[in-house]
Structure 1
Amino acid sequence: MTDIEVQDIGDKVVTVLKTIYDPEIPVDIYELGLIYDVFVNDNCEVKILMTLTSPNCPVAETLPVEVEEKVKTLEEVKDAEVEITFDPTWTQDMMSEEARLELGFL
């Protein structure tokens, strides 16, 4: 698999991530800064390193599953796994400028 093909899959994964919203905040999880990294290997397997707005987040059980399931709908993706981390801890500074503008922080 070429670097271009891996990049293409990564871009498609990001597009999918931008369709998933935190139920308490009207911004997608990518712009919210909850996605720390997206890895795609040569076998078309995706690993997503993400966090939650807090360890006590009400969607802690369901959001990672939703992310995995939606990423797996991409025909190029053979498998997807989400790893949750709280290091570093999420802060509002991790939001994109677009997200801050939408939430009235700018």
Structure 2
Amino acid sequence: MADEKDTPFSPIENKVMDALEEVIDPELGIDLVNLGLIYDVKVDDNGECTVTMTLTTMGCPLGDILNRDITKAVTSVEGVTKCNINLVWEPVWDLSRMSRFAKIALGIHG
């Protein structure tokens, strides 16, 4: 059985990821996708989307703001009827999950 992470995104899941690139972390000014906070996106046959993600820290005060912005972005995708956010703490987020773009934007070299 193949690992779920090896399964490529469907066209609608790719559109959800594109929409999530518009959701900016207010503290860092970088989108959630480039920060590496989005771990997975699944859209079922009924248009229900589940976004598996984490936050940079457990005590992140931005949970409600991000929840609203994520839901708005995801449900803006044609064919998506509902957004569920699956907030996880494992695997733990670290700087290695950030894209090269995010690292350069934040002045992180290496």
Query: TM-score by structure 1 length?
Result: 0.87
2:90 pairs, out of 79, 87, 90, with 87
Pairing 1:103–2:106 present: yes
Aligned-partner Cα distance in 2 for 1:30–1:83:
15
Aligned-partner Cα distance in 2 for 1:86–1:65:
20
Aligned-partner Cα distance in 1 for 2:87–2:56:
11
For the aligned residue pairs, the C-alpha RMSD in angstroms reads 1.3
**Equivalent residue pairs, number:** 101
Query: TM-score by structure 2 length?
Result: 0.84
Aligned-partner Cα distance in 2 for 1:49–1:65:
15
1:76 pairs, out of 66, 76, 79, with 79
C-alpha displacement of 1:62: 2.4
Aligned-partner Cα distance in 2 for 1:58–1:44:
29
Pairing 1:44–2:47 present: yes
Q: Secondary structure at the match of 2:64?
A: coil
Aligned-partner Cα distance in 2 for 1:35–1:82:
10
Which whole-Å deviations, capped at 9, do the CAs of 1:21-64 have from their partners, x for residues lacking one?
11110210000000000011122211000000101111022212
Percent identity between matched residues is 36
Q: Secondary structure at the match of 1:30?
A: helix
Task: List 4+ stretches of structure 1 deviating above 4 A.
Answer: none
C-alpha displacement of 1:75: 2.5
Aligned-partner Cα distance in 1 for 2:56–2:78:
30
Q: Secondary structure at the match of 1:77?
A: coil
